[in-house]
Amino acid sequence: MDERIKVYEDKMTKTLDNLDREYTGIRAGRANPHLLDKIVVDYYGTPTPLQQVGNITVPEARVIMIQPWEAKMIKAIEKEIMASDLGITPSNDGRAIRLVFPELTEERRKELAKDVKKKGEAAKVAVRNIRRDANEAFKKLNKSKEISEDDLDNLEDDIQKLTDKFIKKVDAAVDAKTKEVMTV
């Protein structure tokens, strides 16, 4: 593959990776420890990811358990979970925090499916913007006589094929996540 295309393929791959990361934050009725990836707690004045202040396990399908390494961290962890957009109230027994995820209602599933589609559309827009940037860069090269008209046409064809490939991958990710969210 042409090195000039490779740069844009890397950008499109990062866009797809970002979409996958966003999708791990959307819960589908099952407890997923990745839901806590964005939560940061104050650990002796330092913002620290939740995974670094305790042990996170999934003892049951709809329960996440957080066992802080220091008991005094329980209040700080609970506070951050309450402030997050998880929408779940933590409960603790003095040693561990439990997050119990309720069954999703049909209405909530539909909301999540809409959110999945919205994130997918944003990823497609990002991929198309990368294509536009690539085409503009290629046209500048042609204008400054660094590449011929034929090279320009070939590069534009290649970037379009790459764009189509990534749009298909985004669509597949959207379909898979929507199916997961809608499954009872």
Residues 6 or more apart whose Cβ sits within 8 Å of residue 40: 47, 48, 49, 50, 80
Q: How distant is the alpha carbon of residue 3 from its chain centre?
A: 28
Predicted TM-score (pTM) above 0.85: no
Q: What are the boundaries of each domain within the chain? A: 3-25+105-182, 33-100
Are the C-beta atoms of residues 99 and 39 closer than 8 Å to each other?
Answer: no
- How far are the Cα atoms of 11, 30, 38, 84 from residue 66, in angstroms, in the given order? 36, 16, 15, 16
Instruction: Tell me the three state secondary structure of residue 48.
Output: strand
41-49 — which CB contacts under 8 Å span 24+ positions? Answer: 41/73, 41/76, 41/77, 41/80, 42/76, 43/73, 43/76
Look at the domain 33-100 and name its fold: Gyrase A; domain 2 (3.30.1360)
What is 3-25+105-182's CATH superfamily?
Ribosome-recycling factor (1.10.132.20)
Tokens of residue 132, six digits: 């536009």
Note down pLDDT in tens along the chain; length 184 residues. 678 889 999 999 999 999 988 887 776 667 778 878 888 898 888 888 988 888 998 888 788 899 998 888 888 888 888 888 777 888 888 889 998 887 778 888 888 889 999 999 999 999 999 999 999 999 998 889 888 889 889 999 999 999 999 999 999 999 998 988 887 6
